């Protein structure tokens, strides 16, 4: 289970198109083709989606002086953190981004990360990160 949830290249079992969770049933994705709607997705595949958006949309806005806030699913955020921090597959496996906690990046003049940190109470942040780490574990 951890490899599916936190691994890099391992994908969970594919959904079928008649599965209620298939994104093609969601009206928010009505303009996307079937090819653009994955039946399964690993972190590696998420990176293939997220990093072009970072480079083509987000980074140019930052370079123009805008402050950017990104609100996204945990796996998309993990993809971006892996890219920005040049993390290995092993390092990203152990990263647990706490749900609902702002993660701040500070960049140098070339938009390379100088540091990242969470905003909030350290104990609460640690508890939320632990909760993410425990998702999917047997109770």
Tell whether residue 134 is among the known ligand binding residues: no
Give me the residues paired with residue 118 across strands: 103
Q: Is 40 a residue whose pLDDT tops 80?
A: yes
pTM, entire model: 0.84
Q: Is 68 a residue whose pLDDT tops 90?
A: yes
Domain 2-134 has CATH 3.30.70.100: no
Beta strands in the chain (DSSP E): 103-107, 113-118
> What is the per-residue pLDDT for 5?
62
Tell whether residue 6 is among the known ligand binding residues: yes
> What is the per-residue pLDDT for 76?
94
How far is Cα 29 from Cα 61, in angstroms, rounded to an integer?
25
SS3 call for 20: coil
Tell whether residue 78 is among the known ligand binding residues: no
Tell whether residue 5 is among the known ligand binding residues: yes
Give domain limits for the chain.
2-134
């Amino acid at each position: 289970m951890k490899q599916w949830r936190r691994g890099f290249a391992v994908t969970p079992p594919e959904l079928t198109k008649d599965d209620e969770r298939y994104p093609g049933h969601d009206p928010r994705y009505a303009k996307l083709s079937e090819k653009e709607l994955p039946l399964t997705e690993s972190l590696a595949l998420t990176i293939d989606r997220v990093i072009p958006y970072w480079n083509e949309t987000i980074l140019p806005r930052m370079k123009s002086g805008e402050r950017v806030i990104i609100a996204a699913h945990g796996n998309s955020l993990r993809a971006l953190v892996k890219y920005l921090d040049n993390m290995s597959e092993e390092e990203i496996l152990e990263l647990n981004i706490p749900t609902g906690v702002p993660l701040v990046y500070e960049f140098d003049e070339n938009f390379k990360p100088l540091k990242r940190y969470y905003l909030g109470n350290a104990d609460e942040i640690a508890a939320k990160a632990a909760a993410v780490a425990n998702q999917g574990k047997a109770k």
